Structure 1
Amino acid sequence: MSQDMLMLLVEGLGETLYMVVVSSLVSALLGIPLGVILVVTGKNHIKENLAFNQTLGAIVNATRSTPFIILMVAIIPFTRIIVGTSIGTNAAIVPLSIAAIPFVARVVESALKEVDAGLIEAAQSMGASPNQIIFKVLIPEAMPSIILGLTLTVISLIGYSAMAGAIGGGGLGDLAIRYGYQRFRADVMLATVVILIAMVQLVQSSGDYFAHKLNKR
């Protein structure tokens, strides 16, 4: 493999990391609060509001059920409004984030629902406010599961970022399409696959480590 191709691989890796890191941060910042809201507004919970909960749940489900490649194309006008273009790494971050936010929300919702109801009742009996219950009981108790869920989200985003390359999103996916597939370069295809596998292994190992460290049980 030539030095120029190695430089392209390094550049593609940098673009992929940029897309995954930024979209992961955005999805966590918006998805975690969304997941908390889905739980606390549920039936018999501390902020019960069933009409709001069901409406929000329907929106989350609708977004989650849309295939990513269709979502990317469908929101091109919105992407142009946000970043001024529909091509490139910055443009790819918009659909990546939108696809990941509801996924994170459902992961967080599932993790919070695993928290022992007795802990919530004990906190309420001691006069804890809803915010105190959320930040001092629910989230700390569910943190290992949340970390594992976020790990799964990042891994999914690595795969989505590669798919984004198919329509000009940049990164390793774009490199694999333009040089590996269209120019019949098996070595380029193999290199991108190996790099993506290595990224997934690193993310999974890191997520497992932090989840284990935070597990009080």
Structure 2
Amino acid sequence: MPSTVVHCALAGLLAAGLLGDHFDGRAVAVVLAATIVPDLDAFAGFVIPGGHRSVLHTLLFPLAIASVLSYDTRIRERSFVRERWHARGVRVAWVSIAAIAFAAIGLDLVGGGVNLFYPIYNQFYELSGKLLFSNTRGLVQTFVELGEGSETARGTTGQYRIGSGIDPTRGTEPESVERIFPVAQSGWQLLLIFTSVFVLAVRLYEER
């Protein structure tokens, strides 16, 4: 499962690619901070069974923020964001929303699963499968299988639970329980972290 560090690595690449002329250390910090927010629902597991990867990992979260931002910047006569932070604030806000959707929720969708439409529809999904072209079978994809009995569906908050270092198991843990806070759990995750650090370092050097 992707760690917070891996989430931030992908968010850093999004920031480097999308912030444009507004790229600097403070803008990147805002994007990374926004990316961390969905992982705070690990604490929700103490109150809501299965709350981790549900409460703030629903697509309704970035959609709600995007709706508010769109209303503020495109419909209101006087935009709060534009008046306070100008065009820079609008760009940073949109990139932060993209980071939440792709770097935070998206990575967890392919790494263990998320409750994608919670609380409207209580079902964890994990995007797993393959996409390939075969000379005998043609185009083959196994990603889109959203039925109740499909490999993509994982169960409701009562049936499916994803532990964390904050709340490793359902119920009360013994004092000796191991709490793991991963950094990189595979080669591709470590490569992503190093690549992001390199790209951000180069961009920040160029912007001096």
Which range, TM-score by smaller chain? 0.3 to 0.5
Looking at CA atoms only, which structure, 1 or 2, has the larger radius of gyration? 1
Would you tell me which structure has more strand in proportion to its own residues? Answer: 2
Normalising by structure 2, we get a TM-score of 0.37
Normalising by structure 1, we get a TM-score of 0.36
